[in-house]
């Protein structure tokens, strides 16, 4: 007896499409997942997302709507440079931070926004803002301008009298004492906590026209809020030659009273 086997059935169009598209779809899904993980990965230490908005600055005049012209560089530091600029009919100081030093700009801006930071022996804050976009962005901190410059620069080219020395020392001490003071209710602005400067030196003291001293450069300053730890910080910051031996040796606890003595 002769038997006949039916001829093999030709694969249907649906089967062909399934076998063709499934590998392509799987690879596409893996590629999309890898791309998503790449975009949402944790940035490495020190990385700054240039598209991230630094946050709204504290209340200040709308400097961005007024003509501001940079005139000349007056100083350079590790976190940027300081320009003399003209805002309307007044001279101001503009401290310009590159985008990678955003944390320093934010720290100093937060210190200036603390209630009670308006004092005759503390540098007057005017505004903080972001200028430019993408890779060209800069972070500006605009303050009062003092033509005599820092105490360091002034002493390099001038000899002061005994009375002038006493005036500089007295006003400088007043500013530092007020910075350290805890004021529960400061002229209706709210609570002013104790603040440790942590980089107090003659380079960070500016002089008014009458040689009144004003404290400046609060990029390393730390606030001591009631009932809160000082945060993730340590004592060995600032300029090493101005540090006390116990700070250099690490033999100090990181509490409010200790920080105020650094």
- Given a contact cutoff of 8 angstroms between Cβ atoms, the answer to whether 196 and 239 are in contact is no
| 14 SS3 class | helix
Phi, psi of 125 (to 5 degrees): -90, 140
Contact of 186 with 195, CB cutoff 8 Å: no
Bridge partners (DSSP) listed for residue 73: 83
Compute the distance between CA of residue 218 and CA of residue 230 in angstroms, rounded to an integer.
Answer: 16
Q: Are 194 and 223 in contact (CB under 8 A)?
A: yes
What residues are annotated to the active site?
A: 199
Instruction: Please name which of 157, 158, 131 lies closest in space to residue 142, comparing C-alpha atoms.
Output: 131
Phi and psi based region of residue 223 (left: phi greater than 0; alpha: psi -120 to 50; beta: remaining): beta
């Amino acid at each position: 007896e002769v038997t006949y086997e039916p001829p093999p059935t030709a694969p249907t169009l649906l089967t062909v499409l399934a076998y063709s598209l499934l590998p392509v779809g799987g690879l596409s899904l893996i590629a999309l997942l890898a791309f998503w993980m790449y975009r949402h990965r944790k940035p490495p230490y020190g990385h700054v997302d240039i598209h991230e908005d630094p946050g709204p600055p504290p209340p200040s005049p709308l400097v961005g709507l007024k003509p501001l012209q940079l005139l000349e560089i007056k100083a350079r530091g590790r976190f940027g440079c300081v320009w003399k600029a003209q805002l309307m009919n007044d001279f101001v100081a503009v401290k310009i931070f590159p985008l990678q030093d955003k944390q320093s700009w934010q720290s100093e801006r937060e210190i200036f926004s603390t209630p009670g930071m308006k004092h005759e022996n503390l540098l007057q804050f005017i505004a903080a803002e972001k200028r430019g976009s993408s890779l060209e962005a800069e972070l500006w901190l605009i303050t009062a301008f003092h033509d005599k410059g820092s105490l360091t620069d002034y002493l390099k080219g001038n000899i002061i009298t005994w009375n002038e020395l006493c005036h500089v020392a007295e006003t400088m001490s007043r500013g530092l004492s007020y910075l350290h003071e805890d004021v529960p209710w400061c002229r209706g602005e709210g609570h002013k906590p104790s603040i440790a400067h942590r980089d107090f030196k003659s380079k960070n003291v500016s002089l008014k026209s009458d040689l009144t001293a004003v404290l400046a450069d609060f990029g390393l300053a730390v606030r001591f809020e009631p009932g809160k730890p000082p945060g993730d910080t340590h004592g060995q910051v600032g300029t090493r030659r101005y540090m006390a031996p116990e700070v250099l040796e690490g033999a100090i606890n990181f509490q409010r009273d200790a920080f105020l003595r650094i």
